[in-house]
Amino acid sequence: MKFCKHCGAETVAEQKFCTKCGKEYAPTAAQPTTTVPYPQPAPAGYYQPPPMPTKLPGSSLIRIPGIIYIAAASLAVLFNGIMLLIINDWLPYYGGEVMRGIWQAFYATALLGTAYALFMAIMCVVFHNKADKSSLLMILSIIALAMVVIVPVIQSVVGTNSMYGDYIYLLIGYLIISLPFTVTLPLLCLIGAIKNGRVPT
């Protein structure tokens, strides 16, 4: 039912003119229609890469060793730096002036290696979940593994020339205790970076 706007009489909706006053009903305004856009399919031959995962497959292998490395390398940097600063205090008990250059070379190379390890660990923690930084982390890990070999070689050459027993024992202790630790962590970071590098960006 509808009502005439002129006289108010009720009439059938299908009628065009009012049965009481005879006047034509006002045309009903057309209701606007809204169309819901549908996503357009990708054109033929166009490759749409899958969305980037929120957590990359190698992120845990990089982040966890990185955190451990930060803690260990920070203590090592502090220790080696202190030993260089107070070398005059303990030097008389470990060879005196004759051994000054030997011990300085030992702790200087150790400080260099641990400082780099700390830098690499910070980079690993910062970029552990970024696929575009995987190449950088791979390079840093490879350098760290190389320094694990280079630093002891330099120290062993210096120590062997000195023929000082305590120094040799210190180097052997490093190889037995520290070497597995310093090799395992960069190796895990390297594996994690390789996994992240395989994720399409």
pLDDT tens digit string along 82-135?
988 888 888 877 777 777 877 888 888 889 888 998 999 999 999 998 888 999
Reported as half-sphere exposure (CB side, CA atoms, 13 A), residue 71 has a value of 7
Sequence-ordered strand ranges (E) for 60-110: none
Residue 144 lies in a domain: yes
Structure confidence at residue 148 (pLDDT): 78
Residue 107 lies in a domain: yes
Q: Tell me the pTM.
A: 0.63
Residue 120 lies in a domain: yes
Residue 111 lies in a domain: yes
**Whether pLDDT at 5 is above 60:** yes
CA nearest 73: which of 178, 159, 170, 172?
Answer: 178
Helix 179-197, helix 59-85: angle, nearest 10: 140
Q: Please, which residues have CB within 8 angstroms of residue 103's CB and are 6 or more apart in sequence?
A: 87, 91, 94, 95, 167
Residue ranges making up the domain that contains 142: 59-197
- The helix or strand, by DSSP H or E, that contains position 150, with its residue range, turns out to be helix 134-162
Name the domain count of the chain: 1
Name the more confident of 63 and 170. Answer: 63
Residue 106 lies in a domain: yes
**Whether pLDDT at 26 is above 70:** no
Structure confidence at residue 163 (pLDDT): 45
Residue 91 lies in a domain: yes
Most confident option among 4-13, 23-32, 175-184: 175-184
Residue 80 lies in a domain: yes
**Whether pLDDT at 59 is above 80:** yes
User: pLDDT (tens digit, 9 = 90+) per residue, 135-190?
Assistant: 999 999 999 888 877 777 776 666 555 545 555 666 666 666 667 777 888 899 99
Structure confidence at residue 169 (pLDDT): 61
Residue 9 lies in a domain: no
Name the more confident of 31 and 199. Answer: 199
